[in-house]
């Protein structure tokens, strides 16, 4: 499966890719220095948008699902990166307890769990999967398409150690984003918990991530002498919003207007002919719930009941109070007429693969990670670490290198964010 | 290209592979602990012999050629391992000066140099190649089959820094095994030299490597409760040999006899029906010069002039004084009737690939790395880190995992050896 990508515009982004390519030794040297001072998250995935004139991260997930969507040819890369991470952060560890999201019917997600188990096993770890679900009271095997099986087991807490029946792991690996808070059974564990509990969405804020990304993008743009806007979307926040009771609408409309105004100036500077739009979304949480596309501040005050209901809750039924207004980045990558959004996966600070979310029913200015969104994953055909200076800057390996660079910038921002949030 | 391997015997080795597979978490945990205490060599290749009843390293090269023979699909693994190594040992480095062997006509070797340049570049380094050859007085481009070009440049020494015209590198990377000693231009450099000069064949001794391997193999065999002989060839040494003047022949014959006697006991214990043989080779040096197969001590005292001449010099015309007598390990891997010897490549402590030396004209008891030996390289079809417990222990991915384990044991022995040899 070879993705055929078309990019509607090939002006500024080509230039950006060319700069990335020619500055590669400086870029890699810069990253190495950053990783001396900052510990990368255990793993992460970054959603990118490529508008042809701008390449930017729009979301950074510290509990990535979707490892099953990566190109199977790059499984060895995942295994090697996992071995390196384990060697660095928990070399004495043997047993890993993987705690996934509370899904038992989402087979796509469970395939991701199965893939994580495979990666950890191939890296030489003893791995078992413990479920937070109260209904998992005994070993429960779930068959997956393709013949694999995920075995969910009930968690057993003994004092300050978490394990399973007959399994006392050294490390607890979370693939659960803790949207609803930290369950008591995970509190005060003596084992290492990776990523740290403070990376959970119950406390994490997208605005803090993008504030950290501002710093990273500015530094990096200085290194390359580029306009940081080319890799960084504007954003603003509003707190104490209540969509259902129409509280905070004026604040939100004002922020939307500010971001749109700043975008208009940049669009004029770069000769971009499209209408600017912003994405309004919950400042905490994931899964693309509570998200809307806005092209004019007046849309905020004119929301109908259905729209307000949709915006007011995210995953686990949590109320939305803090809202992020983020510059919308058009996606101009298309695969057979369908809109495609790249997602890059990292283990520690190594890029290990990626895939495109391909969605035929959505427009270039819409969020592609939305509930009910049945995207088709299309694995990257080549990895993100093999740029070829003999090819054009927008040729696949070079474009993927650029994706890997911007994804690592977001990863670095997540490192800064987690340092700030350490308990 | 899929290698079709046949193994004549499938008794004890199958059992060994089965133990490796079932003990994988313990094995990887053990290796992680070792790498906490010992720094792996920058890179290495290990020649293995697989006799069906025994799997053992017979040579460990700390300046590996042959990266061009690896499966190109695994280039990303090499790049990722290189990035990890650079991050660990010289994160501040940007420029790398690669110093190859003094070949200008050996296109096979120069393809290895080109591949190393590619790996280092993809890892984000600035790389140039400096030649020790006096005849390289200006930039010399050598075209390679396939269209690549290797550019050799004359070395420039400024005070205690080594570089090229217009290039002041942070690191000097040797791909030259220093058989003839350390050239003055490499002495007392203020830059990091990798691997260290003390890894050169001018001072390195195979017997020291295999003495270190004895310790490693015994520890590892203890971990798995196996007979260390299954992964370790017997050896003995003689010094002050002069083949041409027939000095030391009695000593050598006695050592040969001792090793053969010990082997006969093991062959009897394991029911091996073949005739034991030993390999007599120079204790220093490489390229398979000065090597012979001996099945009886009487052959040593009966050498004719031609055989004695052949044994008395190795690469760079060096005289052989110290001789290693190593248990010969039959190779029972065949590819289309041709004898095949696996070679495993590592960067830092990661296995990054391997290939078979396939040679139609040689017997199962002969050395396959010999002058004039035109082997056909056959890249491993899968990497060495993806064992599959659902397949038989001798299925390709599992056999390759076993190869990766034994190769890493030899790598660890090289680490101990280099620690002993630090200046």
Res. A7 pLDDT band, cuts 50 70 90: very low
> Which of 3.40.50.1100, 1.25.40.80, 3.40.50.300, 3.40.50.11280 is the CATH number of B74-199?
3.40.50.11280
Measured between CA atoms, the residue of chain A closest to residue B401 is A122
Tell me if the bond preceding A195 is cis, omega within 30° of 0: yes
B272-309 b/e with 16+ CB inside 10 Å = b? bebebbbbbbbbbbbbbbbbbebeebebbeebeeeeee
Q: Residue B367 has what pLDDT?
A: 63
Sort strands B192-194 and B171-175 into parallel, antiparallel or unpaired.
parallel
| B35 chain-A contacts, CB cut-off 8 A | 87, 91
8 Å CB contact of A125 and B25: yes
Q: What is the mean pLDDT of residues A9-14?
A: 58
Q: How far is B358 from chain A (nearest CA, A)?
A: 25
Whole-angstrom distance, CA of residue A236 vs CA of residue A281: 11
Q: How far is A388 from chain B (nearest CA, A)?
A: 9
Whole-angstrom distance, CA of residue B77 vs CA of residue B173: 19
Whole-angstrom distance, CA of residue B60 vs CA of residue B413: 9
Query: Higher-confidence residue: A31 or A376?
Result: A31
Task: Specify which residues B387 forms β-bridges with.
Answer: none
| A75 chain-B contacts, CB cut-off 8 A | 386
Whole-angstrom distance, CA of residue A123 vs CA of residue A85: 10
Q: How far is A71 from chain B (nearest CA, A)?
A: 13
pLDDT at A22 over 80: yes
Measured between CA atoms, the residue of chain A closest to residue B95 is A25
Q: Residue B119 has what pLDDT?
A: 96
Q: What is the mean pLDDT of residues A114-130?
A: 96
ipTM of the complex as predicted: 0.87
8 Å CB contact of B28 and A73: no
The per-residue pLDDT of chain A, averaged, comes to 88
Which residues in B have their CB inside 8 Å of a CB on A? 24-29, 31-33, 35-36, 73-77, 79-81, 83-84, 86-87, 91-94, 122-126, 349-350, 383, 385-387
DSSP state of B143: E
Q: What is the pLDDT along chain B (423 residues), one digit of tens a residue?
A: 344 444 434 456 678 888 999 999 999 999 999 999 999 999 999 999 988 889 999 999 999 999 999 988 889 999 999 999 999 988 988 999 999 999 888 999 999 999 999 999 999 999 999 999 999 999 999 999 988 999 999 999 999 999 999 999 999 999 999 988 999 999 999 999 999 999 999 899 999 999 999 999 999 999 999 999 999 999 999 988 888 888 888 999 999 999 999 999 999 999 999 999 999 988 887 655 568 889 999 998 888 888 888 787 766 667 778 899 999 998 877 766 677 889 999 999 999 999 988 876 666 666 655 544 556 777 777 767 777 777 777 777 788 899 999 999 999 999 999 997 654
Q: How many residues make up chain B in this entry? A: 423
| A80 chain-B contacts, CB cut-off 8 A | 77, 80-81, 350, 385
In a mutational test of the B interface, the residue from A84, A346, A386 whose CB has the highest number of chain B CBs within 10 Å is A84
Nearest one of A377, A359, A340, A339 to A66, comparing CA atoms:
A377
Q: How far is A386 from chain B (nearest CA, A)?
A: 6
| A125 chain-B contacts, CB cut-off 8 A | 25, 28
In whole angstroms, how far apart are CA A403 and each of A46, A209, A259?
10, 18, 25
User: Which positions ≥6 away from A392 have C-beta within 8 Å?
Assistant: A14, A398
| B28 chain-A contacts, CB cut-off 8 A | 83, 123-125
Res. A312 pLDDT band, cuts 50 70 90: confident
Instruction: Give CATH 3.40.50.11280 domain extents, chain A.
Output: 71-199
CATH number of A71-199: 3.40.50.11280
R_g (Cα) of chain B, nearest Å: 21
8 Å CB contact of B91 and A383: no
DSSP A45-113: EEEEEE-SS-EEEEEEESS---GGGS-GGGHHHHHHHHHHHHHHH-TT--EEEEEE-S-SS-HHHHHHH
User: Which positions ≥6 away from A151 have C-beta within 8 Å?
Assistant: A128, A129, A139, A140, A141, A142
8 Å CB contact of B124 and A386: no
Q: What percent of chain A has pLDDT over 90?
A: 63
Q: Residue A15 has what pLDDT?
A: 84
Q: Residue A422 has what pLDDT?
A: 52
Beta strands in A360-416 (DSSP E): 376-379
**pLDDT, tens digit, for every residue of A40-74?**
999 999 999 988 889 999 999 999 999 999 988 88
Helix, strand and coil in chain A, % to nearest 5: 35, 25, 40
Query: Higher-confidence residue: A114 or A340?
Result: A114
Measured between CA atoms, the residue of chain B closest to residue A401 is B122
Q: Residue A307 has what pLDDT?
A: 82
Least confident of A214-223, A305-314, B272-281: A305-314
Question: Is the Cβ–Cβ distance between B350 and A83 less than 8 Å?
Answer: yes
Q: Residue A285 has what pLDDT?
A: 73
């Amino acid at each position: 499966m070879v993705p055929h990508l078309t990019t509607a515009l090939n002006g500024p982004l080509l230039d950006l890719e060319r700069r990335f390519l020619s500055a590669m030794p400086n870029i890699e040297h810069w990253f190495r220095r950053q990783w001396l001072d900052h510990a990368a998250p255990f793993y992460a995935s970054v959603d990118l948008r490529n508008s042809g004139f701008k390449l930017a991260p729009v979301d950074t997930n510290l509990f990535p699902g979707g490892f099953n969507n990566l190109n199977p040819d790059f499984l060895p890369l995942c295994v090697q990166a996992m071995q390196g991470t384990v060697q660095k952060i928990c070399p004495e560890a043997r047993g890993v307890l993987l705690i996934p999201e509370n899904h038992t019917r989402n087979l796509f997600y469970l395939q991701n769990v199965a893939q994580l188990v495979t990666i950890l096993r191939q890296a030489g770890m003893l791995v078992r999967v413990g479920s937070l679900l109260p209904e998992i009271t005994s070993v429960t095997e779930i068959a997956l398409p393709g013949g694999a099986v995920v075995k969910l087991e009930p968690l057993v807490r003994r004092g300050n150690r978490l394990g399973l029946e007959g399994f006392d792991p050294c490390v607890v690996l979370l693939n659960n984003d803790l949207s609803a808070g930290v369950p008591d059974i995970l509190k005060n564990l003596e084992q290492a918990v990776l990523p740290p509990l403070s990376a959970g969405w119950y406390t994490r804020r997208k605005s803090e991530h993008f504030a950290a990304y501002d710093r990273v993008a500015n530094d990096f743009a200085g290194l390359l002498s580029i306009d940081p806007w080319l890799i960084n979307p504007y954003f603003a926040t509003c707190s104490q919003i209540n969509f259902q009771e129409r509280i905070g609408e004026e604040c939100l409309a004002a922020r939307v207007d500010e971001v749109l105004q700043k975008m208009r100036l940049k669009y004029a500077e770069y000769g971009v002919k499209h209408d600017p739009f912003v994405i309004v979304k919950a400042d905490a949480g994931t899964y693309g719930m509570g998200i809307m596309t806005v092209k004019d501040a007046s849309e905020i005050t004119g929301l109908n009941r259905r729209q307000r209901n949709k915006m007011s809750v995210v995953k686990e039924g949590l109320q939305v109070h803090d809202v992020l207004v983020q510059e919308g980045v058009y996606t101009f990558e298309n695969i057979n007429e369908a809109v495609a959004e790249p997602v890059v996966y990292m283990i520690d600070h190594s890029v290990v693969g990626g895939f495109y979310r391909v969605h035929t029913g959505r427009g270039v200015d819409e969020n592609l990670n939305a509930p009910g969104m049945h995207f088709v994953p299309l694995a990257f055909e080549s990895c993100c670490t093999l740029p070829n200076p003999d090819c054009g800057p927008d040729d696949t390996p070079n474009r993927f290198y650029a994706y890997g660079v911007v994804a690592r910038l977001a990863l670095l921002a997540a490192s800064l964010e987690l340092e700030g949030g350490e308990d």
